[in-house]
Amino acid sequence: MSDCIFCKIINGEIPSTSVYQDEQAYAFRDIQPAAPTHILIVPRKHIDSINAMTDNDEQTIGHLFNAARQIATQEGLAENGYRLVINTNAHAGQTVFHIHLHLLGGRQLTKMG
């Protein structure tokens, strides 16, 4: 999508600090980190949100979690733990409408709600 900020990050039009990439996914550091490690993992395919996902996207979205596992290990978070979050629409506070998996870690995280 031409006006999507994360599509522009994936294609290099907007700079990012990349931590991982493969043929399906791209991961980079969040510009406003909510934890010592805060990484966004996005599919190269533009999908607005989990609401817009189809059955055909199962593999694409599952792949984000496999990438997250590898990144968590790479970042030294696997043993102490980390949180994976996907916000969907207003009540969850979604601000960028290109599916992204937040990977948060590096400190004791508080309970959600």
Q: Which is nearer to ligand AMP, 55 or 113 (CB)?
A: 113
Tell me which of 64, 68, 82, 94 binds ligand AMP, using CB under 6 A. Answer: 94
Residue 32 in contact with ligand AMP, rule: CB under 6 A: yes
**Burial label, 96 (beta-carbon count in 10 A; 0-12, 13-18, 19+):** middle
Task: For residues 108 and 35, give the distance between their C-alpha atoms in angstroms, rounded to a whole number.
Answer: 9
Interface ranges with ligand AMP (CB under 6 A): 5, 14, 16, 30-32, 40, 87, 93-96
Give catalytic residues, as residue numbers. Answer: 100
